[in-house]
């Protein structure tokens, strides 16, 4: 157990629908990162939050949004889902910006299947 | 898109042999590199890291080498075991408005008995 909790583990939904993925960071970590991993691909950075505020954006579609709550858990919202959105979505946490050298800790991911 | 490149997408080695996984990066300003291991159905797991002011770092059965001149990173795994079968990613710590890790595509390592 890495200490980063992601729910649900699996999600199957239809095109056009909206889903919410949840992440609880490791205890004490303030930063949360979301990554998308398509089949046999690397991890594409989506977005980063630190202590409730957005810090960095990567290749995140406009149909996707995220937020980090006061208790530091984060949610990734995916809307108007398309078949190509099927992927593994990982959340990672780290202590604070500037301490990324302490490393990221990844959760086990949410496997999203859009049918 | 942005990425740290890998030379080989797959690598097969005999159990007990040494493995070398290579990675090329493009951003000479990156100051920190990490190797991750991802087993099937799991999230990436930290293996070893190296800062840009070093050229070698050793862990348990793993060694990372950094050649800044040619922007090349490698992961050496000694005496590979079946449990080493996984996808290995190198990641580069970049500052682009904020610090973030940029991952390569990954190399799938298969250990043959």
Instruction: Give the count of Cβ contacts less than 8 A between chain A and B.
Output: 66
Confidence tier at B99 by pLDDT (50, 70, 90): low
Q: Is the Cβ of A97 closer than 8 Å to some Cβ of chain B?
A: yes
CA distance A102 to B111: 30
pLDDT higher than 90, residue B109: yes
3-state helix, strand, coil in chain B (%, to 5): 5, 55, 40
**CA nearest to A37, candidates B69, B43, B76:** B43
- Residue ranges of chain A with pLDDT lower than 50? none
Q: Is the Cβ of A17 closer than 8 Å to some Cβ of chain B?
A: no
Which pLDDT tens digit goes with each residue over B18-58? 999 999 988 888 888 999 999 988 899 999 999 999 999 99
The answer to whether the Cβ–Cβ distance between A90 and B44 falls below 8 Å is yes
Which residues are paired to A90 by β-bridges? A35
Nearest chain A CA: its distance from B75 CA (Å):
17
pLDDT higher than 50, residue B6: no
pLDDT higher than 80, residue B7: no
CA distance A64 to A31: 19
Chain A: residue whose CA lies nearest to B50: A101
Indicate which of B4, B46, B101 best probes the interface with A, i.e. most A CBs within 10 Å of its own CB.
B101
Cis peptide before A8 (omega within 30 of 0): yes
Chain A: residue whose CA lies nearest to B2: A44
- At which residue do the structure tokens 């937020």 appear? A67
Report yes or no: B88 and B37 within 8 Å, Cβ to Cβ: yes
Which stretches within chain B are classed as H helix?
A: none
Q: How far is CA A52 from the centre of its chain?
A: 14
CA distance A57 to A75: 15
| B contacts of A48 (beta carbons < 8 Å) | 98, 100
- At which residue do the structure tokens 């709550």 appear? A69
The answer to whether the Cβ–Cβ distance between B43 and A44 falls below 8 Å is no
H or E segment and range at residue A113 = strand A110-114
Which pLDDT tens digit goes with each residue over A63-80? 999 999 999 999 999 999
> Can you give the length of chain B in residues?
113
Cα distances from A69 to residues A29, A46, A77, A100, A105, in angstroms, run 13, 18, 14, 21, 19
């Amino acid at each position: 157990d890495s200490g980063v909790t992601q729910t649900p583990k699996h999600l199957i939904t239809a095109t056009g629908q909206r889903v919410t993925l949840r992440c609880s960071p490791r205890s004490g970590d303030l930063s949360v990162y979301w990554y998308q991993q398509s089949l046999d691909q690397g991890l594409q950075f989506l977005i980063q939050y630190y202590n409730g505020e957005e810090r960095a954006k990567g290749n995140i579609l406009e149909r996707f949004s995220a937020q980090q709550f006061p208790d530091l858990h984060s949610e990734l919202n995916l809307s108007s889902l398309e078949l190509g959105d099927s992927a593994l979505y990982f959340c990672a946490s780290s202590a604070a910006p500037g301490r990324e050298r302490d490393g990221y800790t990844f959760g086990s991911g949410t496997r999203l299947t859009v049918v | 898109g942005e990425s740290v490149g890998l030379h080989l997408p797959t690598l097969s080695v005999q159990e007990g042999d040494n493995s070398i996984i290579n990675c090329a990066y493009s951003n000479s300003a990156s100051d920190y590199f990490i190797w991750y291991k991802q087993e099937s159905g799991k999230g990436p797991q930290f293996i070893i890291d190296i800062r840009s002011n070093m050229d070698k770092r050793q862990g348990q059965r793993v060694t990372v080498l950094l050649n800044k001149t040619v922007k090349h990173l490698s992961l050496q795994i000694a005496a590979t075991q079946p449990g080493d079968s996984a996808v290995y990613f190198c990641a580069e710590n970049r500052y682009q408005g904020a610090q973030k890790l940029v991952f390569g595509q990954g190399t799938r390592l298969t250990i043959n008995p």
